Amino acid sequence: MTSKKIEHFFWLGVVLLVVFCLSFHSAEIEWNQDLGRHIRLGEIILEEKSIPKINFFSYLEVDFPFQNHHWLSEVVLALIYNNFGNSGLILFKTLLLVLAWGGLFWLASQTISPSWAAFLILLPILIFRERTDIRPEIFGFLLFGLFLIIFTKARKGKKKLLWCLPLLQLLWVNLHISFVFGLFLIGVNFFWFWQKKLFSSSKKAGMVLLPLFLAVLANLVNPNFINGALAPLLIWQNYGYQIVENQSVFFLSALGYRGGIVLFKIGFILGLVFFIANRKSLIDFLAWLALSIISARQIRHLPFWALYSFWFWASTLQFFLKKVSQKTRLFFDWGAKITALLAASFLVLIHSTGLIYRWSDQNKNFGFGGNQPTREAALFLVNNFPKEKIFNNFDIGSYLDYFYPEIRVFADSRPEAYPAFFWQEYRAIQSDWNKWQEIVEKYQIGVVFFSHTDQTDWAKNFLVNLYQDEKWRLVYLDGDIVIYSNIEAGPEELIINKELVDYFDNGLDLAKLARFFHLVGEEELYRLSLEKSLKLNPHSYFTNLSLAQVYFQSNSPALHFKAKSLTAKINNWWYRL
């Protein structure tokens, strides 16, 4: 094996290891979001051999039409989960992400040196890491990468590969609504081929146009035909609830949300620099710019921007390096190698040891685990209130869908599956206590099943009012869920005291409970929860910061000294990653 091949495989191994460590983590967050609903729908599709077209999960909007644009993903996820469990889902998801990034890296390393490719890929991977959960969009990431590889090879003469696109697009339109990015790449490359005058003869045109045309036509092969092909546009006609991933980077920056936004801004500047230095890939630059604008408007698209940015940067870097002297280039080469190795080593370390998750208070761990963290609360609901109508919040509804038909939800996390006015009422009944009482009487609601980590203003207001109302008894509380009942019979009321804090032995659960106690005015329990949480997880940014604020508010010089120590700890640079 030649030294060049050894170098290629070495850097490929480095990149794959980084992607693996960032992707291979437990599945707590996705279970508390959409995964339960996806798996239950997949099971129903397999059982009934048909795709549901109404929202039967909700007892209020049972007949409301719903267009399922990721039914095939749900079938695949259900099959994997029912045969291989939660570990199977984690491995499958990790494999798809490793293949997507590994394929693009191998493609890029054929154009530029593998060390430079490893250097360039770091920033996109850091932005991408926030969407490494088990979701239907993971199929879109892999297919987007495959499209980039196919079009790159076709540009270099291997146009027969374009015949793979119709089949891939047919799969994509049934796997996830992100199939629109497949159409995006088809449009971009249509103009690229046209610019290169590949349509000058009917033979040349046929080799390119026919597979592209069939790929576009393949979008009609879905359960909803033309409406399914237009889903990326039609979905916004009835979307009455805004979620974080649909917000712009500017809106979230104003709220203090960091995430990958700072890295995105750096990447945007880097892309502009590469284009200014090159100016030979106008079509690809305009495509990258359009994707940048789309991602800036809705951060849910940042993973696709990250994949495309790596491809775009790698394809333009060679022109950038040609403009510097040999001595300067050698200096840059060594700088890229050292930086890539050090950064990769650091990322592997903090993710494989789980340090990053403990620093940032994420409900994740490296490796397997996290199967249905809210299952105990859901079973408590099923066993104690089997016939009661419930009120639940947006965040947790889709997990409760997993227990259909034993549980019928008030709402779940599909804005498009409910009429827009429904979400207006949903917010109103949490903001206005009189409105809430009317709804309780109207629908005979007997139980509230609520994720107390909900950060919306109306949810916080609702939780405070519920806690203060003597008609509603708190009967269950854990790190994620609070359950209230207004029924005389049933479980006894839970006593909120120090003994309850002593019961919990998980640092993250205690940190989330502390937020709840602070919200409802139980300041002593707030402090006790934070102190115990800090003992269990000394690295927590939230716990260190919150406890420092508590100590600063006291009159004790000793506590003030502790507060300064806690504040100094979280000012370390790694907390700002």
Q: Where does 49-164 have alpha helices with state H?
A: 71-108, 114-128, 137-155
**Model pLDDT, residue 27:** 93
SS3 readout for 424-458: HHHHHHHHCHHHHHHHHHHHCEEEEEEECCCCCHH
Q: Smallest Cα–Cα separation from 92: which of 78, 77, 106?
A: 77
CB 31 within 8 A of CB 377: no
Are 208 and 159 within 8 A, CB to CB? yes
Beta bridge partners of 390: 447
Per-residue pLDDT 10s for the chain (577 aa) are: 677 888 889 999 999 999 999 999 999 999 998 999 999 999 999 999 999 999 999 999 889 999 999 999 999 999 999 999 999 999 999 999 999 999 999 999 988 889 999 999 999 999 999 899 999 999 999 999 999 999 999 999 899 999 999 999 999 999 999 999 999 999 999 999 988 877 767 777 778 899 999 999 999 999 999 999 999 988 888 898 888 888 888 877 766 666 678 888 888 888 888 777 776 678 999 999 999 999 999 999 999 999 999 999 998 887 766 666 677 777 778 888 999 999 999 999 999 999 899 888 888 999 998 889 999 999 999 999 998 999 999 989 999 999 999 999 999 999 999 999 999 999 999 999 999 999 999 999 999 999 999 999 999 999 999 999 999 999 999 999 999 999 988 899 999 999 999 999 999 999 999 999 999 999 999 999 999 999 999 988 899 999 999 999 988 888 888 888 888 877 765 555 5
Contact by Cβ (8 Å): 501, 514? no
Domain range annotation of the chain: 3-359, 375-485, 498-576
pLDDT the model gives residue 575: 57
User: What is the pLDDT, as a whole number, of residue 77?
Assistant: 98
Helix axes 433-443 and 420-431, enclosed angle (nearest 10): 120
